Amino acid sequence: MYTSRISGLGSYVPENVVTNDDLSKIIDTNDAWIQERTGIKERRHIKKGDGNSTSVMGVKAAKIAIERANLTNDDIDLIIFATLSPDLYFPGGGVRVQDMMGMKTIPALDVRNQCSGFVYALSVGDQFIKTGMYKNILIIGSEHHSGGLDMTTRGRAVSVIFGDGAGAAVLSRNEKEDNSGILSTHLHSEGAHAKELFLEAPSMDLWVPEIIEKNDQEDIPYYPYMNGQFVFKNAVVRFSEVINEGLQANNLSAGNIDMLIPHQANLRISQFVQKQFKLADDRVYNNIQQYGNTTAASIPIALTEAWEEGKIKDGDIVVLAAFGSGFTWGSAIIRW
């Protein structure tokens, strides 16, 4: 059986910076509340007409990742695209990437696992490489949240948190004769809590004529709903569980973690997990301060930046962990 390794990483965020003070001009919120409760200082938002979309941002990140992997588009055997904010309800973003990048008629798979999307996608890609079916897989996590948020005081508990951006990784068959690469992945779900963090419309739960009928009413559920405290409480438990699961599966302990890249949900959640595993500050990477929560894009953006800053070296044990809507959660243990 083969093993897989990440051979290239890339990220892209829109130029438009939206600070907490910017938001406080349109929403009843303030910099102190946002920073204290989430750690976020600013995030990026697409500007209407700037040419960006979920797929476009994904392509921008992907181009960098493929170049850094020393590959060309023709070397890619499969696209896996993770997002909760696809350009179109259907078809998914993967086929748009295939088209925009002028790729051959390779398969394109969409993953709908929200904040855990990148870890799920990595796990799926890893299986295809292990069996020998594919050699190079492009994995993208990309989100355009800003165009779908309630930018009024009513939506403030959700809208101040999310940002736009994309990250990408090329997963390749590991040609190195050492024990590096993806060591294991661990995935979970608990659909009983699907409606604690969800978007109701558009959907086929609300039939289209029903949506049209509701259109002239105030209360159209087009904006995401989140039971913040409930999600928070579940997140801290599941993050710890799934990191432990990954460590145990590889006979590792917390002391072996060189870099933890948690999904950037809330700085307080990351700090809680850091404390639980007694990790020094330089062993946990956080950039939620600059980008907010970019859902499926958050781990690949953070992983790319950590790697660019030289914080991940060959042989390091890197742990990715995510939790989010679904609920879904997962981890990946990597020896770099």
Selected range binding ligand UT7 among 174-182, 210-218, 263-271, 313-321, rule: CB under 6 A = 263-271
> Rounded to the nearest 10 degrees, how much is the dihedral formed by the CA atoms of 111, 116, 119, 122?
10
Options 20, 52, 266, 293, the catalytic residue: 293
Asked whether position 37 contacts ligand UT7 by CB under 6 A, the answer is: yes
From residue 129 to residue 168, the character string flagging contacts with ligand UT7 as x (rule: CB under 6 A) and all else as - is ---------------------------xx--xx-------
Among positions 6, 71, 78, 265, the unique one binding ligand UT7 when judged by CB under 6 A? 265
Least distance between ligand UT7 and beta carbon 85 (Å):
13
Three-class SS of residue 331? strand
DSSP string, 132-198: TS-SEEEEEEEE--GGGS--SGGGHHHHTTB--EEEEEEEEE---SSS-EEEEEEEEE-GGGGGGEE
Residue list 212-241, contact with ligand UT7 (CB under 6 A): 228-229, 231-232, 235
Among positions 3, 7, 11, 38, the unique one binding ligand UT7 when judged by CB under 6 A? 38
Is-catalytic flag, 45?
Answer: no
Residue pair 16/50 in contact (Cβ under 8 Å)? The answer is: yes
Q: Which is nearer to ligand UT7, 98 or 298 (CB)?
A: 298
Is-catalytic flag, 174?
Answer: no
Among 61, 124, 125, 81, residue whose Cα is nearest residue 301: 61
User: Given the DSSP bridges, would you call strands 78-82 and 42-44 parallel, antiparallel or unpaired?
Assistant: unpaired
**Which tokens in the block code for residue 7?**
């051979």
Residue with tokens 């991940």: 312
Calculate the CA 61 to chain-centre distance: 13
Asked whether position 29 contacts ligand UT7 by CB under 6 A, the answer is: yes
Which residue of this chain has its Cβ atom nearest to ligand UT7 in the complex?
A: 228
Options 113, 115, 234, 286, the catalytic residue: 115
Is-catalytic flag, 186?
Answer: no
- Total residues at interface with ligand UT7 (CB under 6 A): 20
Among positions 66, 97, 115, 137, the unique one binding ligand UT7 when judged by CB under 6 A? 115
The sign of the dihedral angle between the CA atoms of 303, 133, 56, 263 is negative
Residues that bind ligand UT7 (CB under 6 A): 29, 33-34, 37-38, 115, 156-157, 160-161, 228-229, 231-232, 235, 265-266, 269, 293, 324
Q: Which residues are catalytic?
A: 115, 263, 293
